[in-house]
Structure 1
Amino acid sequence: MEKAKRVLLKLSGEALAGPAGKGFDEATVKAVARQVKPSAEEGVEIGVVIGGGNFWRGRSSNAIDRPKADQIGMLATVMNCIYVSEIFRSEGMDTEIFTPFACGTMTKLFSKDAANQCFREGKVVFFAGGTGHPYFSTDTGIVLRAIEMEADIILLAKAVDGVYDSDPRTNPDAKKYDTVSIGEVIEKKLAVVDLTASIMCMENHMPMAVFGLGEKDSIRKAMKGDITGTVVTVDDK
């Protein structure tokens, strides 16, 4: 696969939490930053979306109304982006954080023009807060931003090292795909991203790649077009 000029990288909140499964694991986040930095220095335009599962999942409490639960999740992603952005800065990168809602002086309100200017300045751009609306996941958030920002590909760094025909955590005979079409992902409900996000990818011809965050240099390799996991293909434009 060719090296992309502009990518959107999705990081799992749980994966960044390390062995503890919640909060932050600084060593893990620093390792991610050190993989991203060479590509940023080479001129790859990098956007980052982070899940909030290390703090909150949409159904963490059945006592809370779904829209309010989703709002808590949005704020979790903002906290994650602020933290990871600062770790990236400590490793020598310039960053900017955008949200779809005002967060005082902590982030900037998202606009395509402002984000494009940050890319031109060589900054790593964090897109926090999802879509800003309940009932939409960070999967939908990253697909929306990838389409808006005209990214070449979405890179999904997950705890699982690719797309399988069934859950490899429960089925030892699960088979991994090297490539799979977005149509097959939707038809077989392969759970690469949620259904809404999958359909958006199909309709807007946005390819994805899924790989294991824990694999050595997996992000660095993916940035260079060397996908160790699964490439999700779309029809030609």
Structure 2
Amino acid sequence: MLIDLNCDMGEGFGAWKMGDDSAMLDLVSSANIACGFHAGDPDIMFDTAAMARHKGVAVGAHPSFFDLHGFGRRQIRGDSPAQIERQIIYQIGAFKALAAAAGLPLQHVKAHGALGNMANEDPELALAVARAIKAVDPALIFVVMPGLETERAGEQLGLRMAREIYADRAYAANGNLVSRNAPGAVIHDSEIAAARVLRMIEEQSITTVDGTRMPVRIDTVCVHGDTPGATRMAQHLRSLLEAAGVRIAPMATVIGQ
């Protein structure tokens, strides 16, 4: 079995740094690079793409709401879906150009933070994200959460999709992520997280906080790079998966199998 490991990266801004991107790039197969709206700037975007190229990691754009102050985790409701669509086009286009300058093609697009969580439940917002991806390049992979509106939007527009689960996040009853403000939303124990991911992959299902088991297709696993112990968790997860016979590969390879 092939599985992609992905991580959000390039999430500093100017002199401010976040996460150990170099160490994470030794462990993952796909990197989601911030595009300047929640974090990132042209130098960081280029440097992270160049480092990914050097380490053989595929890259994707990680667009968000225009929310530097809130790191893209605040719900922005004043902009229309059409405005959000254009903002996403802007971000994907910017990173696609910088990735090309660093010698890498763009593999995928994954919405960040509140944008991704809201799109999972709002069909108009999900379609705005999907339309933006298709407008830039219909061959790009749309990273979606299975069973939610983003997956339905990707299907409607005929996009290639990678279905994603999270190593370090709990699932709400509807299959979306539990709000970070809720107790237990983020899993910090690397052994618990790794064992949980292996079980989800073997069963091709997720288990929600109310105990419901939801069958899903799983192509890629996200390990957040900005949480304490993220590198340790990624290392533990990769080692456990490989010991179980799972091979780590970029999402383009996984969904092409």
User: TM-score range, shorter-chain basis?
Assistant: 0.3 to 0.5
TM-score (norm 2): 0.42
